[in-house]
């Protein structure tokens, strides 16, 4: 493990995550709604065009962003520690950016936008397919297997359709690392959300738990099994 690689990766994660609060704030809306046109706290309208979306720091003058930046730095540093100086690291670092954005949005409004799920797959899956063409078939098989299993859970009412799509994309990415990574990545989210769901049930709270963050953390854990 190279300390410089970890530091550089953490810096990349923190820098990119600094731009996520405004994106998350504007995109954390209902499925039928368009992007949020104004701050939900102070009602200040966002600027039209590029400047209304791209801003480093808080979503508005009344919001903090320290935890998002810290999360980005932590995820990127963990990837650097686990993957090391490998060509697989850059695409995984890039895929982690929309992944973190998905986690924030899902936590706020229980929604995983398709375009961001696709961005995770493109940024992570396409470069890995170029680097590891011998793993394309296992990666696609893992994606289809998870898509089928989670699709049945969706039909039974246990998951949202966005969770099914994200799980399949993450399984594909993990498939390039090997079957142990896929197995761990599939099981870990349920071990993460299970105790939380049990606590919510025991305490009598009626609350729907977002599953996207657990899927993403589970995929990160799965990479440690590669």
pLDDT tens for 168-223 read: 999 999 999 999 999 999 999 999 887 766 666 566 566 678 899 999 999 999 99
Burial of 62 (0-12, 13-18, 19+ CB in 10 A): exposed
List, for the chain, all residue ranges whose pLDDT scores fall below the cut of 70. Answer: 1, 61-64, 196-207
**Consecutive H or E run containing 81:** helix 66-83
Q: Of 95, 98, 99, nearest to 83 (Cα)?
A: 95
What is the predicted pLDDT for the residue at 197?
Answer: 63
- Residues whose CB is less than 8 angstroms from the CB of residue 36 and which lie 6 or more positions away in sequence, other chains included: 25, 26, 27, 28, 29, 46
The pTM assigned to this predicted structure is 0.93
pLDDT at 49: 87
Task: For residue 60, give the nearest of 33, 25, 12, 36 by alpha carbon.
Answer: 25
Distance CA 182, CA 97 (A): 21
- Looking at residue 6, what is its pLDDT? 96
pLDDT of residue 216: 97
Could you give the CA distance from residue 118 to residue 71 in angstroms, rounded to a whole number? 21
Q: How many H helices and E strands in the chain? A: 9, 0
Q: Helix 212-223 to helix 161-175 angle, to the nearest 10 degrees?
A: 10
pLDDT given at position 198: 64
């Amino acid at each position: 493990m190279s300390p410089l690689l970890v530091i550089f990766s953490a810096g990349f994660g923190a820098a990119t995550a600094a731009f996520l609060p405004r994106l998350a704030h504007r995109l954390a809306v209902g499925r039928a709604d368009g992007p949020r046109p104004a701050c939900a706290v102070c009602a200040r309208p966002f600027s039209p065009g590029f400047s209304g979306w791209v801003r480093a720091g808080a979503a508005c003058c009344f919001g903090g962003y320290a935890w998002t930046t810290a999360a980005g730095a932590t995820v990127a540093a963990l990837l650097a520690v686990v993957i090391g100086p490998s060509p697989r690291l850059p695409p995984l670092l890039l895929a982690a950016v929309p992944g973190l954005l998905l986690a924030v949005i899902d936590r706020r409004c229980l929604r995983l936008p398709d375009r961001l799920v696709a961005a995770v797959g493109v940024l992570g899956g396409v470069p890995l397919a170029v680097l590891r063409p011998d793993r394309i078939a296992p990666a696609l098989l893992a994606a289809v297997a998870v898509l089928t299993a989670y699709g049945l859970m969706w039909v039974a009412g246990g998951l949202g359709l966005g969770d099914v799509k994200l799980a399949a994309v993450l399984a594909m990415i993990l498939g390039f690392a090997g079957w142990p990574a896929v197995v761990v990545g599939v099981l870990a989210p349920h071990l993460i959300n299970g105790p939380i769901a049990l606590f919510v049930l025991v305490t009598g709270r009626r609350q729907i738990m977002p599953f996207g963050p657990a899927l993403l953390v589970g995929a990160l854990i799965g990479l440690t099994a590669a």
